[in-house]
Amino acid sequence: MKQTDQTLLEQLRITEFEIEQRKQLFELEPRDEMLLRAAGHLVESHLEELVTRFYELQTSTPEIALLIGDADTLQRLRNAQRRYVIDLFSGVYDLEYVNNRLRIGLVHKRIGVEPKLYLAAVQSLKTLLSAQICELIPDIEVRGHTLLALDKLVMFDVALVFETYIRSLVAEIETSRNKSEQYARSLEEKW
């Protein structure tokens, strides 16, 4: 990980207390965690087809296909996506989970994924997961509550990722400002 990314992660450091506050803001409750964990076993049994379909959709968008580039990168992304989905349905949304989401934001920002592309990908994934949950959970009430829990968690994740985008942009502006100030001082010293 780049030094600037590590510095940003340190600035973004979120405490367990902050995580609990955020869960309350998004109304992510223990019942939601339990429902997602239960659905995880079902989703994992169809994980390969989900990831395959997700990347078929992603690579059909020229901008995204260009960002992905080669087959090796696509394979790394597929592996990362598998881990991401497994984490979504782990039922454990703690400090490690949050830090992984913050790193995802930094990586997406660093490689130049525009927010519109990130959000479109999140929507595609959520749509695929929702369809899968509808197929795999026969009980209408459990299915509805599980879909709502997934919505809450996805919004929780998106908020974390966008915080890293914003903080990263602010850090870039501060770095540019500092360089400009240093350059101006060096010019003043020469005169």
DSSP string, 124-147: HHHHHHHHHHHHH---HHHHHHHH
> Would you state the pLDDT for residue 110?
76
Residues 158, 119 contacting (CB under 8 angstroms): yes
> Would you state the pLDDT for residue 6?
57
Burial status of residue 153 (CB atoms within 10 A of its CB: 0-12, 13-18, 19 or more): buried
> Would you state the pLDDT for residue 189?
76
- Token code pair at residue 156: 């929780």
Q: What pLDDT tens digit does each residue of the chain (191 aa) get?
A: 554 555 555 656 788 899 999 999 999 999 999 999 999 999 999 999 999 999 999 888 888 878 777 778 778 888 989 999 999 999 999 999 998 888 888 887 777 788 888 899 999 999 999 999 999 999 999 999 999 999 999 999 999 888 887 776 666 677 677 777 776 777 777 76
Token pair 């490689």 in the structure block, residue: 111
> Would you state the pLDDT for residue 25?
95
- The residue type at 79: N
SS3 of the chain: helix, strand, coil, percent, to 5: 85, 0, 15
Burial status of residue 58 (CB atoms within 10 A of its CB: 0-12, 13-18, 19 or more): buried
> Would you state the pLDDT for residue 42?
93
